[in-house]
Structure 1
Amino acid sequence: MSETLAQQGLKINWAEMPTYNTIMALAAGVGLLLIVALGWQMMTDRPIATEGWAIAFAILGVILFATGLHMTLTWPLAPGGFAFDNIIFGEPALGFGTLMLGAAVVLWRRGRVFAEASLEDGGLRTEQVRRLLWPISIFVFALGLACFGIAAAGWTYTLFAAPPQEPISGAFAEYPLIEATFISGLYVLVGIGSVLTPFALIRLNRVLLAIVGVAWAIAGIAFTLFGALNYFTHIGLIINTM
């Protein structure tokens, strides 16, 4: 095995290459799914245990905020040639984590108001949510534009390709456009949902809200599964390149 690795030649000083986009991908994926699920409960007048939602949002928000902040402010986090990860993973995680923490605070402090209000009360619940979310939806829109920029960079520079020493993903090392298309496509889905959010909230357009929900649900599932897979592939990469 050592002779094979020597022939492959890739050695990485992992002391200079911290990486934790595994937990970031998991938290981001689950966060997107929770937002879709909570939105569905709101729009279908389901009973809502707001304290539970607040705790879930807070836990995911802390993970994304802490890892995203560290990656954003530590420049470059990985001086071994992946400085662009600071922008691609760190900054969106920081923005999303901060939004999740803000949502957790609102659900904890005012959740009972949403839980007690009903769609039968002249749409009181949805109107409250619309007024509350409209200001911050502009930032969500801006993050969506940033996601489009990240996706374009991924395609243009064929980023995200795994080296051949990485299990599973490394099988496509000779075809870097495959993984670049996959990850960039996920950012496009998140971006579509984000840029449509303020327009969907203006008059609570159910068609636009459904598009947002579908885009974020697909991206959430993919990010969650990909993050879970990376726990194996990243461990294998570290072992194969130590």
Structure 2
Amino acid sequence: MDFITGEEGGLVIDWTQMATYNTIMSIAAGAGLLLLIGLGRSLHGDKTFRPEGWALSAGVLGFILTLTGGHMTLTWPFAKYFPFDNIIFGETSLAFGVLLLATAFYLWKRGSVLATAEDRAEEAAATAKPLGIFVFGLGLALFGIAAAGVIFQLFAAPAQEPISGAFAEWPWIEALFMSGLFALVGVGAVLFPFALRSFSSATPLNAVAKVLGVVWSITGVVFLLFGALNFYTHIGLIVNTMG
């Protein structure tokens, strides 16, 4: 990495050249995954379905991810130190953010129709079916990110970062952790179009939908908590490397 070394040999990073906001992105992504699982359950069997609440939630999270992911994708703020992170976090967040905004728009505009549909789950699945191709492709992309993370040992935090930096001597640990998360989200994304095929309030969830629910629930919680933790660890890294 093209880091700067201070007079005493300590790591110094020029933070004017590396805007970082994957903290809020991680929280929003985790919350977004949990929101989709909650929405699916509500469509499948919640008799008190409130489309406006789901629309507002999807809109808030979609706006954050589209704004930050779009900025990261177009401007590459990590270019000097971690250029690959612009692809890993920026492009995936942008894609997920736009999908959440589309969900919010649909629920806001067609929520009343959906709420009174004879089979809400089937109606929503039919609407989302064309997006299944894109979501499937994103799943394959996430597998690519996971493979790159392991092969090139990405995601390792510098020793100056609190908590995460304790594993700096063993970069494969964080590489496996983060790559595993991306791979699990990818599993859910690849299964998404197949889960829609029999998504109906009249029938129990099939095995594919259940697996999708499990992997997105787990990764949603982990991304949310990891993002919250990074508000401490990233601030500590900045303090320790300002020079």
Q: TM-score range by the shorter chain?
A: over 0.9
Equivalent residue, structure 1, for 2:211: 211
Go from structure 1 to structure 2 and tell me whether the alpha carbon gap of 1:48 and 1:8 turns closer, same or farther (over 3 Å shift).
Answer: farther
Which whole-Å CA distance do the structure 1 matches of 2:29 and 2:9 have between them? 34
Residue 8 of structure 1: how far off its partner (Å): 4.6
- Give matches, 1:1-242, under 5 Å: 7-74=8-75, 76-117=76-117, 121=118, 124-204=119-199, 206-242=206-242
| Amino acid in structure 2 at the alignment position of 1:156 | I
Residue 46 of structure 1: how far off its partner (Å): 3.3
Which whole-Å CA distance do the structure 2 matches of 1:22 and 1:187 have between them? 16
Which whole-Å CA distance do the structure 2 matches of 1:186 and 1:239 have between them? 28
Which whole-Å CA distance do the structure 2 matches of 1:46 and 1:7 have between them? 64
| Amino acid in structure 2 at the alignment position of 1:175 | W
Which whole-Å CA distance do the structure 2 matches of 1:233 and 1:8 have between them? 21
Q: Any idea what the Cα deviations from partners look like across 1:125-173, whole Å, max 9, x if unmatched?
A: 1221121010001111011001000000000110000010000000000
Which whole-Å CA distance do the structure 2 matches of 1:6 and 1:165 have between them? 16
Paired residue total: 232
Which whole-Å CA distance do the structure 2 matches of 1:230 and 1:140 have between them? 27
Which whole-Å CA distance do the structure 1 matches of 2:172 and 2:146 have between them? 12
Could you state the TM-score of these two structures normalised by the residue count of structure 2? 0.92
Gap regions ≥5 residues in structure 1: none
Is the contact made by 2:40 and 2:121 (CA closer than 8 Å) also made in structure 1? Answer: no
Q: Any idea what the Cα deviations from partners look like across 1:165-221, whole Å, max 9, x if unmatched?
A: 000000000011111111111101100000001111123362111111111000000
Which whole-Å CA distance do the structure 1 matches of 2:80 and 2:163 have between them? 22
Which whole-Å CA distance do the structure 2 matches of 1:45 and 1:79 have between them? 46
Which whole-Å CA distance do the structure 1 matches of 2:213 and 2:48 have between them? 19
Moved over 6 A (4+): none
| Amino acid in structure 1 at the alignment position of 2:154 | L
Q: Any idea what the Cα deviations from partners look like across 1:18-43, whole Å, max 9, x if unmatched?
A: 11000000000000001001101111
| Amino acid in structure 2 at the alignment position of 1:70 | H
Is the contact made by 2:51 and 2:112 (CA closer than 8 Å) also made in structure 1? Answer: yes
Report the identity percentage.
56
Gap regions ≥5 residues in structure 2: 1-5, 200-204
Name whichever of 214-223 and 196-205 sits farther off: 196-205
SS state at 2:11 partner: coil
SS state at 2:89 partner: helix
| Amino acid in structure 2 at the alignment position of 1:187 | F
| Amino acid in structure 1 at the alignment position of 2:50 | A
SS state at 1:196 partner: helix
Name whichever of 200-209 and 48-57 sits farther off: 200-209
SS state at 2:12 partner: coil
